Amino acid sequence: MHRDPRVPGREDCVTRYLLHRWAQSQPQKVFAVFDDGETWTYSQLLSRVQQLAAGLAEIGVKQGEHVAVWMFDGREAILTFYAINYLGAVFVPFNTAYKGKLLEHVLDNSDARLIVVDEQLAERLLHVDRARIDAALVLGESECVIPATRIHDWSAAANSTAALPQLEREIEPWDTQSIIYTSGTTGPSKGVLSSYLHIFTNAGPESWHFVTGEDRFLINMPIFHIGGMGVIFVMLVRGGSISVMGTFSTERFWPFIRETETSVAFLLGVMATFLLKQTASDTDKDHPLKKVFMVPLTETGIEFHERFGADVYTIFNMTEISSPIVSEPNPVKRGTCGRKRDGVDVRLVDENDCEVAVGEVGEMLVRTDRPWGMNSGYYKNPQATADAWRNGWFHTGDCFRLDEDGYYYFVDRRKDAIRRRGENISSFEVEAEVVAFSAVREAAAYGVASDVGEEDVMIAVAAVDGASIDPKTLIEFLSDRLPYFMIPRYVRVMDELPKTPTSKVLKHVLRREAVTADSWDREQHNLIFKREKRQP
């Protein structure tokens, strides 16, 4: 047994032992409240997880095995997450919007043999290379047939009466808990290897010290994102509770907060703006919400605090790291991400990893003093791992400025990713699908300012000789190949993309020019794409 005081014991940070710990010490405390009023106590949670874990083991899931999960948010996804970890297996969720080449890439990269999938998504598996997948656990009532794939019923597994197998060995804090796919910048999406200690540290008691076991945290982000999966896990760490809303709804937000007695929420992008645009009411402060994370923090933070009474915090975080920058409640410095928390080292550096002066812009580098307190690299991508971890520091690819008081301010992305309404989008992956359109010779994808915050996706394209590009036809083509959030809003058709002498596209020129007079806007042509929801 280790003696490192920085590393908590298994019962403090490993899913299986946390479930047993709380079911024994507070069996009747509510862990989860759902939008239909159903609640789960810790005792019920453990029982349900054990049943599904036994069902997974019957199918053949073993300790250390990667299990792909392609499900809509909700109770079944949460149980699947915990049951996989209960067996000591690795949770590998996929974005429910994936299709085509993006889906093929994550299936292949994951090395999963079993996929747990919603019936409404399963049809997409028929049209892609499924790599090693040879079994599917399907949630739904309709018959599902996938060639060369054994089909199992999720409900039957969730009600298994089989005995649980013995672990081959104890599950350790440094074991891999999950692989979360995050946007690629010069290549396909990368699978972030996260240990239990990484997820524990990401939003644990030290980094988010103001969130306690007495809180109930709103789950309104997808389980395939760190913002959804991570919160579900760290509230288990605290012995706290969650309220599961699913997709964010402006109209439903405050009634849901009151009905579920939710005390903490994460408001990403324009969520806070949408809430502030609602008509003011005498009941604006009549609710149990005490704390709100607002990312990014804008001038709306102060307005939100004054109108609704909840304390507003902000942070800087990403899937690979562990909340190195956290603010005090209701920060008055406009645009700040907060200050460095205890337990991490942070540097701002130039292109040679040399530290820049206070007030100058540099890329943020991070490391933690806790072993395994950050990502363990990118799965099956040693080059990306080496590049990100060069010189012993994790390179975030994001540029910041530090002021004299120790506050950090986000400036820009060094890496070529696009941020749209909480989603990180790989320009590489967008471009790969755009150039698959027969009339397109070359393409560049980039972000432009959105009127609702963050960015919208824009593409500049040039046609092959003798061809012409109709933006509407191109977008309709992409709608069958890209997730809704990656489909460009703007299309700019050019004779030639601006390039360097070595033929690299000058994206900074395109970004500076932004939405030009000749740019085509699909929203003006009523081409709107939204996140799919599971149909009742």
Q: Which H or E run includes 316?
A: strand 315-316
Residue 188 above 70 pLDDT? yes
C-beta neighbour count of 298 within 10 angstroms: 17
- What confidence tens digit (pLDDT) does each residue in 305-330 have? 999 999 999 999 999 999 999 999 99
Query: Which tokens belong to 507?
Result: 């994206």
Q: How far lies 4's CA from each of 9, 369, 381, in Å?
A: 10, 11, 30
Quick one: pLDDT band at residue 155, thresholds 50, 70, 90? very high
Residue 184 above 60 pLDDT? no
- What confidence tens digit (pLDDT) does each residue in 216-238 have? 999 998 999 998 999 999 999 99
DSSP 127: G
Buried b (16+ CB within 10 A) or exposed e, 81-118: bbbbbbbbbbbbbbbbbbbbbbbbbbbbbbbbbbbbbb
Quick one: pLDDT band at residue 183, thresholds 50, 70, 90? low
Query: Which tokens belong to 240?
Result: 């706290």
Q: What are the structural domains of the chain?
A: 11-16+38-171 (3.40.50.980), 216-413 (3.40.50.12780), 418-525 (3.30.300.30)
> What's the CA gap between 499 and 35, in Å, rounded?
52
Quick one: pLDDT band at residue 169, thresholds 50, 70, 90? very high
Query: Which tokens belong to 489?
Result: 């809003």
Over residues 362-376, mean pLDDT: 96
How large is the angle between the packed helices 75-86 and 42-59, nearest 10 degrees? 70
Side-chain-side CA neighbours of 465 within 13 Å: the count stands at 0
Quick one: pLDDT band at residue 500, thresholds 50, 70, 90? low
User: How deeply is 324 buried, as exposed, middle or buried, from its count of CB atoms within 10 A (0-12, 13-18, 19+)?
Assistant: buried
Beta strands at 455-463 and 440-449: parallel, antiparallel or unpaired: antiparallel
Over residues 242-263, mean pLDDT: 94
For residue 1, the model assigns a pLDDT of 60
Q: What amino acid occupies position 336? A: T
Contact between 101 and 426 under an 8 Å Cβ cutoff? The reply is: no
Average pLDDT, the chain: 92
Over residues 235-261, mean pLDDT: 94
Q: What angle do CA 244, 192, 33 make, to 5 degrees?
A: 10
> What's the CA gap between 275 and 272, in Å, rounded?
5
C-beta neighbour count of 62 within 10 angstroms: 13
* Residues contacting residue 170 through CB under 8 Å, at least 6 positions apart: 10
Over residues 99-114, mean pLDDT: 94
Over residues 148-156, mean pLDDT: 95
> What's the CA gap between 102 and 110, in Å, rounded?
12
Closest CA to 324 of 309, 343, 350: 343
pTM of the predicted protein model: 0.85
Closest CA to 192 of 378, 368, 65: 378
- What confidence tens digit (pLDDT) does each residue in 273-283 have? 889 989 999 99
Cis, peptide link before residue 296, omega less than 30° from 0: yes
Quick one: pLDDT band at residue 501, thresholds 50, 70, 90? low
For residue 465, the model assigns a pLDDT of 84
For residue 449, the model assigns a pLDDT of 86
For residue 166, the model assigns a pLDDT of 95
For residue 430, the model assigns a pLDDT of 85
> What's the CA gap between 384 and 320, in Å, rounded?
12
Question: By three-state DSSP, how is residue 250 classified?
Answer: helix
Beta strands at 336-340 and 216-219: parallel, antiparallel or unpaired: unpaired
Over residues 156-182, mean pLDDT: 96
Residue 361 above 90 pLDDT? no
Concatenated DSSP letters of 219-246: E-S-TTSHHHHHHHHHHHHHT-EEEE--
> What's the CA gap between 286 and 279, in Å, rounded?
15
Concatenated DSSP letters of 57-77: HHHT--TT-EEEEE--SSHHH
- What confidence tens digit (pLDDT) does each residue in 410-449 have? 876 676 678 777 777 878 778 888 988 989 988 999 999 8
Over residues 446-475, mean pLDDT: 90
> What's the CA gap between 338 and 408, in Å, rounded?
6
How large is the angle between the packed helices 75-86 and 226-238, nearest 10 degrees? 70
Beta strands at 190-195 and 176-182: parallel, antiparallel or unpaired: antiparallel
Lowest mean pLDDT among 96-100, 133-137, 297-301: 297-301
Over residues 85-111, mean pLDDT: 94
Query: Which tokens belong to 61?
Result: 């899931």
- Helix ranges restricted to H, 242-299: 250-260, 271-276
In 407-452 the beta strands, taken as DSSP E runs, fall at: 407-413, 417-420, 423-426, 440-449
> What's the CA gap between 14 and 63, in Å, rounded?
14
**Residues facing residue 458 across a β-bridge:** 446, 490
Quick one: pLDDT band at residue 503, thresholds 50, 70, 90? low
Contact between 173 and 17 under an 8 Å Cβ cutoff? The reply is: no
Over residues 325-347, mean pLDDT: 94
Query: Which tokens belong to 182?
Result: 């995050």
Strand order in the sheet with 440-449: 440-449, 455-463, 490-494, 520-521
> What's the CA gap between 365 and 340, in Å, rounded?
12
Q: Which H or E run includes 457?
A: strand 455-463
Over residues 197-214, mean pLDDT: 93
